[in-house]
Structures are given as structure tokens and as C-alpha cells.
Chain A
């Protein structure tokens, strides 16, 4: 068990964002979190990485209370790839990727050759090695996203959290990135927790799906059981039709145009 989450709630002054969430996340699975805008997906991830603390309830990480683990330890266990990432200073791409090794390098020493080997091999795998000397401020959104992804892989963690990590990427790079992650889940028992907008992409890559709506978990379970017309209607207010796609051996959702569009 990687995460055991028991009845957590989180609220801003303006009102509750998450309420009474309980869920167990197991090691070696690819979890997809889906839900309409503003349902609390990003806040949920913030609680998982301890960027925010729940107002009530507990989060156990590998059997230890998450709030009791030192941040440095945690940085070796959990990595985050977020969306809309922007840096205002002209770091080179390689410098940014090296920052992913910081949890392993003490404050005043420079990266060891082992750290640098790790950095170079990941940069090659993610295809950002060609950008190595470019300034991060001068890259396109998609290129930057791949750099952030490389930085997270270099962290060598058991858990990777993706917050709409592919929303800036074209289809080629989306598939490449998710393939790399999927392979690590299968081969190295990595756990991935990812927020998706695209339900079909989630259906293709995830083992388990979690549907959030209005700050609570509406449904969760195996991907093939989660993809059905009723649930999608309930979560997203959209009518749809499910078709089986033999190529991937998964169901895919065809959305119908809304009643309003008929005008």
C-alpha cells in the first residue's frame, strides 16, 4: 500500500474543496483521476505531495504518517510533473534537469558523475538531450513540459504524480511520455497518479480510475468497470456511447453533442 487516505477534508475560507475522501492506492498501478473543472483534482494532488495539509483526516504514505516524513525523504519518494510550468530566469535545460537530483546532493557539493550519468541517460530517453544547452525561457510550452518531465524522472522516485502533464503536448509527445511512464509502472513497479482531461487517453493507459465531483469521490475502480455511459453522464453531464477498441483492448468513449448545440 503506497497511500492509505482516511476521510480527509480540505477547505479554503471560501468553502470546502474536498470532503470526506477515503481511498487506498496500491503500489505498481497507474491511477487516473478524472472529473469536471473545479472538482478538486489539483487540490487532491497538493495534499498527496504535502504541498497543502488536510484540515482533517489522515494520509499514510508507505505506512508512515505523511506529515511526519521529512521533506528531503519525501523528495526521494514522490515526484511531480505539473502543468503550466514557467521559469522567469534563463537556466539551461540541463541545469533544470539536474535540479531533480538535488534531493540526493548535499547543499554545498556539486553533482557527482553518477548523478550526471543519470541526468544524461534520462535526457536522452525523453528526447530533451538535443535541447541541453538551450535556455528554458526560450523553449515552447511543449518542450518545457518535456524538460519538467525529465526532471521528475531523474528524481528516481517510487511515485510520480502527473497534473495534466500532457495537456501542452502534441499527440506524438503525449504518447511517448505516457509510454515511458507506463513502461516504468510495468517493469519497475512505479506508482503513477495522474490527473487527466482526456478520458480516452486515461482509459488507454490507466489501471484504475477515480472520478471526482464536487470534492468527493463519486466512483473508483478498475478502468474497464469505470467506463460506462451512466457514470460519465453522472460525472460530466455529457451523454456518450461506449465502443470497444480491439487495438488497445479498452473501451473508448464517443461523446454526443449537447442538447444545446442542436439549435
Chain B
């Protein structure tokens, strides 16, 4: 009894001290991220020393080829044109999915929400499937465009369904948003199944895309992702304190100087666009948006001004690690969406069950 009390106090102390020093944690994570990128770039079929990786990157950025004059050209090509675009895409997509996960959880007042709860990913997948089926010749750009439009239209429909005076008295209520997302998502899933059914030969392409992949990404993908995710992050970070207050409920937030309806709408659109762009480039990658904010919350606490930046970096680390595992560690390349779901799913079950048991113990 006394022991239990003491340990409770000690864990609380540890948690409190962890909550502080966010800046240091962020720096540490950034260092880990850089290390992960460099190590990952060196790994693969063609092994490249870390020192050489750094030299190649530095010389490409500065335009000074003096440092790498002893290296074979193929190393530079592999690093700069093959691996780095893929790795940076993984980092940015991971960061984007994690940040939009934070926002969804904050807006829906539900620590178990993620970019997929609102059917956004199903919309993107449906759009991409359409593109595969009807415009197979339109080239690389058709798929992201269709995926993005699918996500945007889905978001619009979900918001339209859940707003309005009849449906909810408080503007956008989290319950009606989640419900609308599930309804729309189910319809779209059925639509995707139908498209697969009539796709004949194209079906394998659709299935492969749906499982997610960073293979053969280019610098164009990197720049598009970087632009959208960094813009999105800045907007989201600007409203991160408002997101804290929204956790108190709409009425309370109204009396603390926040236009709940407007802030919710801005954050919802921004984070959905970020998620949509990520999905349109990489395909469906589940559990990052759900898992990362959930884990980071136990390090930083629920305060979004700390949670969001830390999740941004942590999401990047997580996804680049996962991508490196499928690319360079496993003997066969497993689709990244499958890998994150296979590892993330059971891990999440564990976290969820543990929290559940702990809470029940407290109530008893």
C-alpha cells in the first residue's frame, strides 16, 4: 500500500521532469533523425561508408566536388538520385502523418483518432484506384493528383455531413465527425473493392499502391512534400495553443477567446491536406498518425505546443527506420504500409490494453 503510493509519487516526479526541457528533447531527436538519415543512406545492396555519405551530401549541397574526387561516380548517383530522395520522402511523410495525427486527436477529443478516422485515406485510395483504372497512360502525375482530389472531396463530404444545425447543435461535434468519417470511409472501401474487381490486369498495380511504398521517389516528390508539410506544420503550430483549449470543450474555448468553429475548420483542412499529400505520394501507410502522438504524449504531456513539434521529428525517425528495414535489412522488400501495420498494430494493442487496465485499476 505504502510502497504503491511511493512508486506512484516517484513515477509522477519522473513524468513531470520529462515534461520539461522540450527544447533539449527536440534537439536530441533532431540529432537522432540526422543520424538515421545518414546511416540509412549508407545501407542497402551497395554498402557506402558513412564518411563517404556525408562527403557526397556536403559536396552536392555546396557544389564543391573536391571532397569526392576519389569516389566512383556510381556512389554519388546512388546516394543523391536513388536513396536520398526516397529516404527524405519517408522522413517528411512520417512527420506529416504524425503531425496531422496530433491535430485529429486534438480536434476529435479522442486520443485514438488519426488521419484515417475521417476516411481521408480511403478517399485518396479511391482516387488513386480510379487513376490506375481509367488513366493508366497519364503518367506519374495522375496518381497523386487523383489521390489528392479524392482526399479533398472526401473531407468536404465528411464535414458537410457532420455540420449544420440539424445534425449537431455545436457546429462540428467530434462524434458526428467520426461517424461521418466511418460512413464515408465504408462506402469508399466498397468502391475500391469494386474497382479492383473490374480492374482485371491493373489490379496488381492498385493493390501494390494501396500497400504503400517509397520505392523510386524523386526529388520532385521531396520538394512537393517538403513545401506542403512545412507550410502545414507552421499553420498547425500557430494554432497549437488553441488546440489545448479546445480540449476543454467548445463552450469553454469560446469563453477563453477562441473561435472554436473557425479554428477547428482551419486545423481540420490543413491537417487533412497534409495527410492527403502524404498519402498521394506514398500510398496508404497506417498507424504512424495514430501511434506517434500517442507515444510522444507520454514524454511531453498533452500540451500541443510541445507535442506537435516533437511528434513531427519522431514521426520522421519512425518512418525512415521502418523504410530502411524493408529496403535494406529484410531479405525481401515488404510494402511499408504492411510493415507499419504489422509492427504498429500489435504494439498499439499492447499500449491500449495496458492503459485500459491501469485506468480500471484506478477506478476500482
Contact = CB atoms under 8 A, between A and B. Distances in A.
Interface of A: 12-14, 46, 49-51, 71-72, 74-76, 78-80, 82, 85-92, 95-96, 99-100, 102-103, 107, 133, 138, 148, 155, 161
B255 A90 contact: no
Nearest to A77: B255
B180 to A, nearest CB: 18
Q: Which 6 A-B pairs have the closest CB atoms?
A: A75-B257, A89-B302, A80-B255, A72-B257, A51-B254, A103-B257
A252 B326 CA distance: 75
B95 to A, nearest CB: 21
Given A71-B257, A72-B257, A102-B257, A88 B109 contact: yes
Contacts of A90: 297, 301-302
Given A76-B257, A87-B247, 15 more contacts: A14-B166, A49-B251, A49-B254, A71-B257, A75-B255, A80-B251, A87-B248, A88-B111, A90-B297, A90-B302, A92-B301, A99-B245, A102-B245, A133-B16, A155-B255
Contact of A71 (B110, B249, B252, B258): B258
Contacts of A95: 301, 303
B251 A51 contact: yes
Interface in B300-318: 301-303
17 contacts: A51-B251, A51-B254, A71-B259, A79-B255, A80-B252, A85-B249, A88-B110, A89-B111, A89-B247, A89-B302, A90-B302, A91-B247, A95-B301, A99-B245, A100-B256, A107-B238, A155-B256
Nearest to B298: A90
Contacts, number: 81
B251 A88 contact: no
B303 A12 contact: no
B76 to A, nearest CB: 42
A50 B249 CA distance: 15
A76 B169 CA distance: 26
Contacts of B250: 51
B251 A99 contact: no
Best-buried of B256, B297, B302 by chain A (most CB within 10 Å): B256
A141 B153 CA distance: 41
A91 B257 contact: no
Contacts of B354: none
A14 B16 CA distance: 48
B11 to A, nearest CB: 11
Given A88-B111, A107-B241, A133-B12, A78 B255 contact: yes
A72 B245 CA distance: 13
B259 to A, nearest CB: 6
